[in-house]
Amino acid sequence: MDANATTPLLPEVMEAMRPYWMEQFGNASSIHQQGQTARTAVDRARETLAEFFNCREAEVVFNSGGTEGDNTAIFGLLRPGDHFITTSVEHSAVLRAAERVAERGVEVTFVAPRRNGLVSDGLIDPEEIRRAMRPQTRLISVMLANNETGVLQPVEEIGRIAAAAGIFFHIDAVQGAGKVPFDVRRFGCHLLSMSAHKIHGPKGVGAMYVRRGTPLEPLLVGGSHERRQRAGTENVAGIVGLGKAVELAMTSLEDGTVERIAALRNRLEAGILAVPGTGVNGAGAPRTANTTNIRFEQVEGEALVIALDLKGVAVSGGSACHSGSTEPSHVLMAMGLDKSAARASLRFSLLRTATDADVDHGLRVVPAAVEHLRALSPVVAGTAG
Ligand code: PLP
């Protein structure tokens, strides 16, 4: 139940990739037959990505994944003196890049999620983005779906605001890709980043949509790969795997899979909420079908992660990149949770292959583990912060 950290390859993806490590190992830049076979495979994946994004094939750039896409958007567009708007609930791939450009003379505004009551539902108010705009604003970057809560941001509205002001707009779509209908023209973005390993594809490969004419400086220079937008010998097998994973994700958006996963998530969520002293972070906001983030009063989140792991249920507190750190989630803190409530919150995120039996197992294990931990240390509440 930690699909937002990563997902396993689907067998079809593995099968599609296999020949490109073995018999068809050519370099896609070589002019001989092996090279051309590899080139054809990369081109085919590019067609799939263009269909997925709803863009031209020339607007697809293959890269190493979400972190690279986020970094490329920020380092590739912003120069000293520019102003950059992003949000305080972004992934660290955006936040750390924003901090770095800030050290180099870029002004950065982090817009917080709206407060509708004491605690936020995690949604960014597009009007707050508009209010943050300045004459020097060059780039806005907002995620499509939050990795910790699944909350879906109003990117279309933000895209319209950016377009009206002539500001570049980047979407970190790593957690939204394959989970909600997708269209870069409808989103109104100039740049969009996604990653294969969140949609049952391989790790270390992803793609970026770069709207024609966007003056994006490449992060990596060298050979003339990817129309000089991303140097480096193409990860042919990875790109083929990404193409196959995207193809399967597109099918899953139309064949009832999303509804099936939503029903499983809703059953899991309702079952856990039957435990006293629990609540959903981001409840009320539109969310991806597979994710729920739940706070458990009087429980230390890390202890619960370990207790569930021992029972065969993998979940995470905060995002995987922060595991091992005792810092509470920056996303939940930005939503107004106090430190102990943030530390007592866990993310459950279902694979596309999740079954009723998985949810049954989760519901056997979670309430019992919570009860056990509360019995062990009934005074944890309020002391963790
Ligand atoms: N952005 C978001 C919202 C993510 O969830 C992740 C991965 O956790 C990333 C970016 C980074 O993607 P990658 O693991 O492909 O570098």
In a domain, 3, yes or no: no
pLDDT at residue 128, rounded to an integer:
97
Packing angle between helix 66-77 and helix 92-103, nearest 10 degrees?
A: 30
- Determine contact, residues 62/218, Cβ cutoff 8 Å: no
pLDDT at residue 86, rounded to an integer:
98
What's the 66 CA to ligand 1 centre distance in angstroms? Answer: 5
pLDDT at residue 384, rounded to an integer:
35
Instruction: Tell me which H or E stretch contains 294.
Output: strand 291-296
Tell whether 97 and 185 lie within a shared domain.
Answer: yes
Q: Which one of the listed residues 102, 132, 133, 321 is annotated catalytic?
A: 321
Amino acid letter, 367? P
Mutate which of 6, 62, 63, 67 to test ligand 1's pocket (most atoms within 8 Å of Cβ)?
67
> For position 281, which CATH number holds?
3.90.1150.10
In a domain, 306, yes or no: yes
Locate the ligand 1 atom nearest the alpha carbon of residue 64 and give its number. 15
Residue 87 to residue 140: CA distance in whole angstroms: 9
Is 76 close to ligand 1, i.e. is its CB under 6 Å away?
no
Tell whether 262 and 218 lie within a shared domain.
Answer: no
Residue 234 to residue 239: CA distance in whole angstroms: 8
In a domain, 5, yes or no: no
In a domain, 369, yes or no: yes
Is 206 close to ligand 1, i.e. is its CB under 6 Å away?
yes
In a domain, 266, yes or no: yes
The sign of the dihedral angle between the CA atoms of 258, 264, 270, 275 is negative
Tell whether 295 and 371 lie within a shared domain.
Answer: yes
Mutate which of 6, 175, 205, 347 to test ligand 1's pocket (most atoms within 8 Å of Cβ)?
175
- The DSSP string of 220-274 is S-SS-HHHHTS-S---HHHHHHHHHHHHHHHHHTTSSHHHHHHHHHHHHHHHHHT
Residue 88 to residue 103: CA distance in whole angstroms: 17
Tell whether 233 and 117 lie within a shared domain.
Answer: yes
What's the 91 CA to ligand 1 centre distance in angstroms? Answer: 7
What's the 56 CA to ligand 1 centre distance in angstroms? Answer: 24
Tell whether 90 and 233 lie within a shared domain.
Answer: yes
The sign of the dihedral angle between the CA atoms of 190, 245, 257, 312 is negative
- Pull the structure tokens for residue 272: 């856990």
Is 238 close to ligand 1, i.e. is its CB under 6 Å away?
no
Instruction: Tell me which H or E stretch contains 348.
Output: strand 345-349
In a domain, 101, yes or no: yes
Instruction: Tell me which H or E stretch contains 83.
Output: strand 83-87
Is 195 close to ligand 1, i.e. is its CB under 6 Å away?
yes
- Per DSSP, the chain holds a count of helices (H) and strands (E) of 14, 10
Tell whether 25 and 121 lie within a shared domain.
Answer: yes
In a domain, 200, yes or no: yes
In a domain, 31, yes or no: yes
Last residue of a domain, one of 252, 279, 306: 252
Structurally, the chain folds into a number of domains equal to 2
- Determine contact, residues 350/1, Cβ cutoff 8 Å: yes
- Percentages (nearest 5) of helix, strand, coil residues in the chain: 45, 15, 45
Domain region containing 357: 257-376
Q: Is 321 a catalytic residue?
A: yes
Which parts of the chain have pLDDT scores under 70? 318-326, 378-385
pLDDT at residue 322, rounded to an integer:
52
- Determine contact, residues 193/173, Cβ cutoff 8 Å: yes
pLDDT at residue 385, rounded to an integer:
32
Is 147 close to ligand 1, i.e. is its CB under 6 Å away?
yes
Last residue of a domain, one of 229, 252, 275: 252
Is 189 close to ligand 1, i.e. is its CB under 6 Å away?
no
Tell whether 170 and 101 lie within a shared domain.
Answer: yes
Last residue of a domain, one of 225, 252, 279: 252
Locate the ligand 1 atom nearest the alpha carbon of residue 147 and give its number. 5
Tell whether 191 and 267 lie within a shared domain.
Answer: no
- The DSSP string of 153-208 is P-HHHHHHHHHHHT-EEEEE-TTTTTTS---HHHHT-SEEEEEGGGTTS-TT-EEE
Give the N- to C-terminal CA distance of the chain in Å, as an integer: 27
Tell whether 201 and 332 lie within a shared domain.
Answer: no
Tell whether 101 and 204 lie within a shared domain.
Answer: yes
pLDDT at residue 327, rounded to an integer:
84
- Pull the structure tokens for residue 226: 């990817």
pLDDT at residue 115, rounded to an integer:
86
DSSP letter at 355 equals -
pLDDT at residue 247, rounded to an integer:
98
User: Can you say how many angstroms the Cα of residue 182 is from the centroid of all Cα atoms in its chain?
Assistant: 14
Is 74 close to ligand 1, i.e. is its CB under 6 Å away?
no
Mutate which of 86, 88, 174 to test ligand 1's pocket (most atoms within 8 Å of Cβ)?
174
Burial 166-175 (b: 16+ CB within 10 A, else e): ebbbbbbbbb
pLDDT at residue 129, rounded to an integer:
98
Is 143 close to ligand 1, i.e. is its CB under 6 Å away?
yes
Residue 209 to residue 205: CA distance in whole angstroms: 14
What's the 280 CA to ligand 1 centre distance in angstroms? Answer: 23
What's the 68 CA to ligand 1 centre distance in angstroms? Answer: 9
Whole-model pTM over 0.75: yes
Tell whether 241 and 269 lie within a shared domain.
Answer: no
Tell whether 55 and 124 lie within a shared domain.
Answer: yes
Is 120 close to ligand 1, i.e. is its CB under 6 Å away?
no
> For position 45, which CATH number holds?
3.40.640.10
